[in-house]
Amino acid sequence: MKLVWFRSDLRLADNPALRHACADWEGERGEVAALFVISPAQWQQHKVAPIRQRFLLAQLDELGKSLAALGIPLHLLRVETFAEVPAEIGALASRLGVRQLYANQAIELDEQRRDLAVSQALQGQGVQSHWFNGCCVLPPGRVLTGSKEMFKVFTPFSRAWLKALEEDGFVIHRAPAPRGAPLPWRPLCETGLVDPDFWDGSPDPRWPVGEAEAQRRLHAFLELGVLDYGETRDFPALAGTSTLSPYLAAGIVSPRQCVAALQQRLGYRPQSKGQPGFVWLNELIWREFYRHLLMLVPALSMNLPFKAETRALPWGWDPAALSAWCEGRTGYPIVDAAMRCLNATGWMHNRLRMIVASFLTKDLHLHWRLGEDYFMSRLVDGDLAANNGGWQWAAGTGADAAPYFRVFNPTTQGQRFDPDGSFIRIWVAELKDVPTALLHQPHDWLVQQGRGDYPAPMVDHAKARLRAIEMFQELERK
């Protein structure tokens, strides 16, 4: 018996672990079963957002049905924390007569430690474990400097990544053929493994699940949006992005599938900024950069900054200010609209993520870890590598060539990327009737109108910016 352990790779197509399990392995052909471990307590400890948990459970139902159609049973275990996983998988392996375990490699430190413990436990039972790269186009460790170290800056990494991809190439594999007669599938909500008050089995209509939906979004974007992506991606009121991030984070679509589809759409693989499609490919390379970085720099999984010296930054602690930021009550319209959108939908446009992260760290001078945690607790596409990388980039503590004095001005960012206030008016109802010319600095107009339903700016950006720069300058002098 071969057991495929699904984690953040909830798909059939282009799934290396599943493909190898379903193929001959050293001449041995045998039955294949699948496994997913539901870990509510661990998810809570890792601040996995409820909307993301429900998204994963809905996709798990889809995966179970798809596997059943292939004749592959999906076994579900509810194991509250990672510490209990090795024993529970070991017991399942004994019951099923498993001789081989197949799984795609995890990049997060806790997950790597869990997987090592599982491998060791199974080895003691005579079960061999096989691990594959299923989360990146190129496996972590493939793209290194001349001295065999991880790149600390994105641009040289991206050049080396493109070169390595040309050298290595890659192949997309279809879903495996049926292994036997179709099997019945019992909906997850009927198994007793999930609290029905938390999830009743209904997918979120905002985020339909399934590989077909992920492929639909991918190809719709490539057909209608990829060529204009460089011009539209920064405007949150426009449908200028792919909205694939939840599907990539859950592994419903692979980054290899995205690169292959882009190449098929264009007839070539873009190599430089001047070529159509490169801007979106570059975003996929950013994703690779953060994932490689997370795996090769364990400190990033331990709440530590990439730049060790920045641990000494004197971040402030102001619960009232943090609450105002979380709830969208800062008095800066673009920040407030972004946070209210996140709280309501579980998703935020990438430009807005940069704006609100800069505001928390450089205007309010609060620790980036507070923002990182809050995002994870709300995002449907919460992904440790991308989330940590983005927050440390904004805070000036991460792998970034830009100087520490990069500070986003929330007013000018709003004026530039939501010039007519279309996005702001959706989410900040108090500002619907403010004249467009005044929308990004509405306080004086609201006072004149005798209105007190929207807060004044909680900080003076110019002064806050100077203080942020001073924090880093003081650090350099130490």
Supply the pTM of this predicted model. Answer: 0.96
Cβ pair 326, 419 in contact under 8 A: no
Question: Which of 31, 350, 430, 445 is labelled catalytic?
Answer: 350
Helix 350-358 crosses helix 410-417 at what angle (to 10 degrees)? 160
> So what's the pLDDT on residue 26?
47
- 116-125: long-range contacts at Cβ-Cβ below 8 A with a sequence spacing of 24 or more? 117/85, 117/86, 118/85, 118/86, 118/89, 118/90, 120/86, 121/86, 121/87, 121/89, 121/90, 122/86, 122/89, 122/90, 122/93, 122/98, 125/90, 125/93, 125/94
Active site residue 315: yes
Active site residue 391: yes
Token couple for 427: 């989410």
Could you tell me whether strands 100-104 and 128-132 are parallel, antiparallel, or unpaired per DSSP bridges?
parallel
Taking CA atoms, 323 is separated from 185, 317, 327, in Å, by 44, 11, 6
Burial-class residue 14 by CB neighbours within 10 Å (0-12, 13-18, 19+): buried
Which among 117, 97, 119, 121 is positioned nearest to 3, based on CA atoms? 97
Active site residue 104: no
Question: Which of 161, 286, 347, 427 is labelled catalytic?
Answer: 286
Question: Which of 31, 283, 430, 445 is labelled catalytic?
Answer: 283
Active site residue 207: no
Task: Map residue 88 onto helix, strand or coil.
Answer: helix
Active site residue 350: yes
Alpha-carbon 56 to chain mean position:
13
> So what's the pLDDT on residue 173?
95
Token couple for 100: 């081989």
Token couple for 124: 């003691």
Contacts of 454 (CB under 8 A, 6+ apart): 331, 428, 430, 431, 442, 443, 446
Question: Which of 80, 315, 343, 445 is labelled catalytic?
Answer: 315
Q: Note down pLDDT in tens along the chain; length 478 residues.
A: 999 999 999 999 999 999 999 986 544 557 999 999 999 999 999 999 999 999 999 999 999 999 999 999 999 999 999 999 999 999 999 999 999 999 999 999 999 999 999 999 999 999 999 999 999 999 999 999 999 999 999 999 999 999 999 999 999 999 999 988 999 999 999 999 999 999 999 989 999 999 999 999 999 999 999 999 999 999 999 999 999 999 999 999 999 999 999 999 999 999 999 899 999 999 999 999 999 999 999 999 999 999 999 999 999 999 999 999 999 999 999 999 999 999 999 999 999 999 999 999 999 999 999 999 999 999 999 999 999 999 999 999 999 767 667 899 999 999 999 999 999 999 999 999 999 999 999 999 999 999 999 999 999 999 999 999 999 999 888 6
Active site residue 283: yes
Strands (E), 392-447: none
User: What is the enclosing helix (H) or strand (E) of 1?
Assistant: none
In whole angstroms, what is the distance from residue 381 CA to residue 395 CA? 21
State the chain's maximal CA–CA distance in angstroms. 81
> So what's the pLDDT on residue 48?
98
